[in-house]
């Protein structure tokens, strides 16, 4: 950094020099040089862009749940989870990784609200089944209500919300299914169970993400951040109506080579 002297002081940029004022002094410095990206950096940047793109799609479809249940770190955490999915793809595909090749099930359990895990309020997992190539089924088990939901003294009901996102992994077609809120009175002793049949196109290579949110209600308020929870309860890859289980490509084993024989010194 150099100090400008003389009666004429410049502001702004001139070639590779930048003129500006700092601590009541007119100074000049060289423009910061741009370091060229390595090929590996470029590939990583492209994969990060892929993760961010899918993160944006997911947030858009689940927007009502993101607004109600989400907190400030949701976007970065979701992108990180998607990067983890892409990392299950062999490094040979770096820079051109696609979600279809990754372990999509890693999205299961992603929490929208870090303050309260979904399983802390809704105590039993939902059941997921494929009926046929046009239908999936979600089931809530028959259960004593105290074994199903955590009670909350100020609430009269617990509300379960659901949104389903079904999208092609090798195309642009997608389906967004929204479900009516399920309101369960907390004065019940026994919950008789519920089932939801969801019409979906399951032909081809697809990913089905099911987000569930839960909060309390007394018909006037839902409580604070400790009384709301939401997560991706199911993240499944499906091909022509059948669940695809991810198979990790084994990494090439490095066979250790024997240590070379060392030369010894001779006496003169």
Nearest to 4, CA basis, from 14, 19, 15 = 19
Decide: pTM greater than 0.75.
yes
How far are the Cα atoms of 127, 173, 191, 197 from residue 194, in angstroms, in the given order?
A: 11, 30, 9, 10
In sign, the C-alpha dihedral spanning 3, 4, 6, 9 is negative
Report pLDDT for 266.
Answer: 82
Please state the domain count of the chain: 1
Q: Which domain holds residue 181?
A: 104-243
Residue 125 inside a domain? The answer is yes
Report pLDDT for 267.
Answer: 83
Residue 196 inside a domain? The answer is yes
Report pLDDT for 107.
Answer: 98
Name residues of the chain where pLDDT drops below 70: 1-24, 26-36, 219-223, 250-254
CATH number for 121: 2.60.40
Residue 113 inside a domain? The answer is yes
- Over the Cα atoms of the chain, what is R_g? 28
> Beta strand pairing status for 157-168 and 182-185?
antiparallel
Q: How far apart are CA 81 and CA 95, in angstroms?
A: 18
Report pLDDT for 243.
Answer: 97
**Which residues on neighbouring strands pair with residue 80, listed in sequence order?**
none
Residue 9 inside a domain? The answer is no
In sign, the C-alpha dihedral spanning 60, 66, 71, 74 is negative
Nearest to 30, CA basis, from 71, 60, 2, 65 = 2
Residue 78 inside a domain? The answer is no
């Amino acid at each position: 950094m150099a100090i400008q002297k003389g009666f004429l002081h410049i502001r702004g940029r001139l070639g590779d020099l930048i003129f500006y004022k700092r601590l009541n002094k007119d100074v000049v410095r060289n423009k910061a040089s741009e370091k060229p990206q390595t090929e590996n950096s470029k590939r990583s940047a492209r994969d990060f862009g892929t993760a961010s793109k899918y993160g944006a799609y997911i947030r858009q479809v689940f927007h009502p749940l993101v607004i109600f249940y989400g907190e400030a770190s949701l976007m970065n955490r979701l992108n990180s989870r998607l990067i983890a999915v892409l990392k299950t793809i062999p490094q040979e595909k770096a820079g051109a990784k696609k979600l279809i090749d990754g372990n999509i099930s890693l999205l299961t359990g992603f929490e929208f609200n870090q303050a309260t895990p979904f399983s802390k309020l809704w105590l039993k997992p939902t059941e997921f089944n494929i009926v046929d190539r046009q239908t999936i089924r979600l089931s809530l088990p028959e259960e004593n209500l105290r074994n199903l939901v955590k009670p909350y003294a100020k609430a009269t009901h617990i509300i379960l919300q659901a949104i389903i996102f079904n999208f092609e992994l090798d195309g642009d077609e997608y389906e967004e299914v929204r479900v009516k809120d399920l309101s369960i009175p907390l004065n019940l002793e026994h919950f008789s169970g519920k089932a939801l049949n969801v019409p979906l196109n399951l032909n081809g290579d697809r990913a089905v993400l099911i987000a569930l949110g839960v909060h309390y209600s007394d018909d006037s308020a839902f409580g604070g951040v400790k009384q709301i929870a939401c997560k991706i309860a199911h993240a499944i890859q499906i091909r022509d109506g059948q669940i695809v289980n991810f198979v990790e490509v084994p990494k090439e084993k490095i066979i250790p080579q024997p240590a070379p024989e060392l030369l010894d010194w001779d006496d003169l």
